[in-house]
Amino acid sequence: MKKLLLSMAVAGLATMPVASQAGSLGANVAIASDYYSKGVDQTSTAGLLKGDISYSLDNGLYAGVWAGSLDKGYEFDLFAGWAGSFGKLNLDISYMTIYLTDDAWGIGTDAITEEILVRAGYGIFSAGVDINVDSDKATAKDTFVEDYTHYKASVDVSEWANGVSLTYGLVDYADSQDVRYFEATYATEIDKGVGFEVDFINSTKEAGAVVVTLSKSFDLM
């Protein structure tokens, strides 16, 4: 049923009337010094090459795929959702399937999990929740060991420190100890479509770390 919902959302982009399909196709490629997700380091060696491509309609519907290199394999995220606003309130609701290739973490098996993601923003404040709704196989990494719910809240302090945002997150696992993390991000555009980002991440699972990312965005249509 969950896979059917995602398939229907993606198919809907292709079957809507032509008049309502005005939208945009975009892509992004990036290289990062490390890969953290939900406050936990996802690679045992430094370095990550990642990219995504997505199509967005004027009515707020969107779909796409994200891919990234891991230690011995790859992660592929297929997502579809809707983003829009009601006055000053911004909303984003999506469904994501996360797939890791057989040897991604050297455990000899694949890993598939699915999430419902909800985001809301008002002014400089934003909050989100990621609900794990299906984990097909457990792996050696906390993110996919068991059911979880990920909460996070952010504040954009660019008015006082240009390009800086602060995030606090909590990953509530069904059985294991929860993970809490703090993230401070500095992001800027150094040239047209070229982004530079520095993240400081500290969590109850990992010692403090700094991740540097250089990215390039493309408008394909």
Does residue 206 belong to any structural domain of this protein? Answer: no
Q: Which residues of 131-169 are buried (b: 16+ CB within 10 A; e: fewer)?
A: ebeebeeebebbbbbeebbbebebebeeeeeeebbebeb
131: pLDDT strictly greater than 60: yes
The H or E element that residue 2 is part of is helix 2-15
- When divided into structural domains, the chain yields a total of 1
Tens of pLDDT along 140-189?
A: 444 445 788 999 999 999 999 999 999 999 999 887 789 999 999 999 99
| Average pLDDT of span 119-125 | 97
Does residue 154 belong to any structural domain of this protein? Answer: yes
Does residue 69 belong to any structural domain of this protein? Answer: yes
**Per-residue model confidence (pLDDT) at position 8:** 38
Cβ–Cβ under 8 Å, residues 33 and 41: no
**Per-residue model confidence (pLDDT) at position 42:** 80
**Per-residue model confidence (pLDDT) at position 46:** 64
Does residue 77 belong to any structural domain of this protein? Answer: yes
Task: Write out the two tokens for 65.
Answer: 């795929």
Higher pLDDT, 2 or 200: 200
**Per-residue model confidence (pLDDT) at position 48:** 84
**Per-residue model confidence (pLDDT) at position 43:** 78
Q: How far is CA 130 from CA 65, 125, 147, 203, in A?
A: 17, 17, 11, 18
The domain containing residue 101 runs over which residues? 2-28+40-177
Tens of pLDDT along 177-199?
A: 899 999 999 999 999 899 999 99
Residue with structure tokens 């945002």?
165
107: pLDDT strictly greater than 70: no
Does residue 209 belong to any structural domain of this protein? Answer: no
Does residue 92 belong to any structural domain of this protein? Answer: yes
Does residue 185 belong to any structural domain of this protein? Answer: no
**Per-residue model confidence (pLDDT) at position 135:** 64
Higher pLDDT, 193 or 139: 193
Tens of pLDDT along 37-90?
A: 899 888 776 678 999 999 999 999 999 999 998 877 788 999 999 999 999 999
Cβ–Cβ under 8 Å, residues 3 and 97: yes
18: pLDDT strictly greater than 50: no
Does residue 220 belong to any structural domain of this protein? Answer: no
